[in-house]
Amino acid sequence: MENTVISKKSIYYPPGGMLIWIVISIEMLTFLMGIAAFLVSRNAELSLFNESQLMLNKTFGTINTIVLITSGYLVAEAVKKLAKGDSEKSYKYIMWAIIIGSLFLVLKAIEYNGKINLGIALEENTFFTFYWLLTGFHFVHVLVGVVILTILMIQIKKGNYSASDYTDVETGASFWHMCDLIWLILFPILYLI
Amino acid sequence: MKITNKKIWLVLVLLTIASFLTSKEGLVKDTSLIIIVLLSAFKFLSIGFQFMELKHAHKFWQIFFSGIIVFYVILVFSISI
């Protein structure tokens, strides 16, 4: 059978493959619509949104952003090492990406717990309805991302990928970066502005 | 100067801290919003082009990806300013 070499410059092969980019596009569009709805509601109830935002911990949010960025960096390095045929280093990078990525979930869980203890639930007010829905939806994505990275780590350890065959890892990495990108547009809107 | 993942990571961390400090500075609300949103847009592009390796991808995907964040910036500015 004739081998087909797919060029990375091909329009049919974005990083990670076409399918993950369809997923990324849909997810980004969904979150952008959520952000638009949040901003429109914010204009209608500006003082309520500003007061509610003060109840969020900006320091916590900033640390979580750094955590996700760091995890994204480690995943990028894992893909790079695999592309060079260094499975051992790739495995270590992806393992640390999972550990640090999980830290995001732990910190978010602590933040959620604090809100629940204060009795701030989904129906508290419009701001917190958006807060719970947008960050909760993102939380689930990160959780799924951790599971995907864990599966990839196991496969790398088993030696199932090589420098000439690591598309799955690229796809999983793209999903993880998407979690990072969503948080980057969500965090300033909810916590900072 | 070669742009590496590590250098981009460092820039992203510093910009995240800058966003945090900007929000605490007590600047005029619109000025603070513009700075924070533009910093986010820059971070978004950095992750896409460097970590996701879009810099090696077809122009279509580079433009498509950039379009997402341009749309976000226009959306936030048009509704909030």
Nearest Cβ partner of B23 from A70, A79, A192? A192
Question: Domains, chain A, ranges and CATH?
Answer: 18-192 (1.20.120.80)
Hey, how many other C-beta atoms are within 10 angstroms of the C-beta on A157?
Answer: 14
Hey, how many other C-beta atoms are within 10 angstroms of the C-beta on A123?
Answer: 9
Estimate to the nearest angstrom the gap between the alpha carbon of A25 and the chain centroid. Answer: 14
Residue A2 has what pLDDT?
A: 45
Please report the ipTM that was assigned to this predicted complex: 0.94
The Cα–Cα gap between B31 and A137 comes to: 30
Residue B75: partners with Cβ closer than 8 Å, 6 or more residues away = A32, A35, A36, A39
With beta carbons under 8 A apart, name residues in chain A contacting B69.
185
Angle subtended at Cα B57 by Cα A27 and Cα B77, rounded to the nearest 5 degrees: 45
Domain borders along chain B are 5-80
Hey, how many other C-beta atoms are within 10 angstroms of the C-beta on A137?
Answer: 15
pLDDT of chain B, 81 residues: tens digit per residue: 789 999 999 999 999 999 999 987 665 578 899 999 999 999 999 999 999 999 999 999 999 999 999 999 999 999 998
Residue A62: partners with Cβ closer than 8 Å, 6 or more residues away = A191, B16, B17, B19, B20
Residue B27 has what pLDDT?
A: 59
DSSP track, A141-176: HHHHHHHHHHHHHHHHHTT--BTTB-HHHHHHHHHH
Contact B19, B34 (CB under 8 A): no
With beta carbons under 8 A apart, name residues in chain A contacting B53.
8, 15, 76, 79
A7-57 per-position pLDDT tens digit: 678 899 999 999 999 999 999 999 999 999 999 999 999 999 999 999 999
Burial A18-43 (b: 16+ CB within 10 A, else e): eebbeebeebbeebbebbbebbebbe
The Cα–Cα gap between B37 and B15 comes to: 11
Query: What tokens does A45 get?
Result: 């109830």
Give A141→chain B minimum CA distance, Å: 17
Residue A3 has what pLDDT?
A: 46
Residues A125-144, mean pLDDT to the nearest whole number: 98
A92-116 per-position pLDDT tens digit: 999 999 999 999 999 999 999 999 9
Q: Which residues of B touch A (CB under 8 A)?
A: 5-6, 8-9, 12-13, 16-17, 19-20, 22-24, 29, 32-33, 36-37, 39-40, 43-44, 47-48, 50-54, 56-58, 60-61, 64, 68-69, 71-72, 75-76, 79-80
Residue A15 has what pLDDT?
A: 92
Q: Is the pLDDT of residue A139 over 70?
A: yes
**Average pLDDT score, chain A:** 94
